[in-house]
Amino acid sequence: MMLLDTPAANEALAEMNDIVSAPVASWWPLAPGWYVVGTLVLIVLAVAIWLLLRRWRQRRMQRLALRELAQQPATNPAAVTALLKQALLAYFPREQVASMQGAVWWQFLQQQLSTRAAKRWQPVIDELERTQYSGDTAADLVVEYQRYAQFWLQRALPPTGGKS
């Protein structure tokens, strides 16, 4: 233990520098992996925004038809049918939609719904088919047809294979 008290040891200690701690690690510049992660996050975000915007645009006519249906209650089934056809023109070719009437029209509407939903609304469709040319459609049937049209617009548009 006496070696530290010797003049040679004191000289050696005097020549030593103080301990210098390393500088604090900086967050910049980032490691290369963070650039990859950041790029991937930006790509995923851009694709998600693009898909949401595309979906919003595809549903524009659906939103307009639902808004009009809610704002102006129809007095006859022809007004509701006209609104449905107008909405369908945005998703299907004019030649296909414009010429549909009667049983073909009702069948087309029902085909766009799930089997369960089509069965649920079939009594309304049957009653509309029965009274479509009589001219004296009951007010409650028109209200039911409006409810059907609202349901149909929400569930069947936009179609999965339409022209959009």
42 and 103 part of one domain: no
Global confidence as pTM: 0.71
115 and 41 part of one domain: no
pLDDT tens-digit readout, 8-26: 778 887 888 888 888 888 8
Q: For residue 40, what are the domain limits?
A: 29-58
Residue at 2 is within a domain: no
124 and 91 part of one domain: yes
Work out the mean pLDDT of the chain and round it to a whole number: 87
Stretch 78-106: mean pLDDT: 90
Q: What is the 3-state secondary structure (H, E, C) of the chain?
A: CHHHHCHHHHHHHHHCCCCCCCCCCCCCCCCHHHHHHHHHHHHHHHHHHHHHHHHHHHCHHHHHHHHHHHHCCCCCHHHHHHHHHHHHCCCCCHHHHHCCCHHHHHHHHHHCCCHHHHHHHHHHHHHHHHHCCCCCCCHHHHHHHHHHHHHHHHHHCCCCCCCC
pLDDT at 164 over 50: no
Structural domains of the chain, count: 2
75 and 143 part of one domain: yes
Give the span between the Cα atoms of 146 and 73, in whole angstroms: 8
Residue at which a domain ends, from 38, 58, 78: 58
Residue 118: the pLDDT is 93
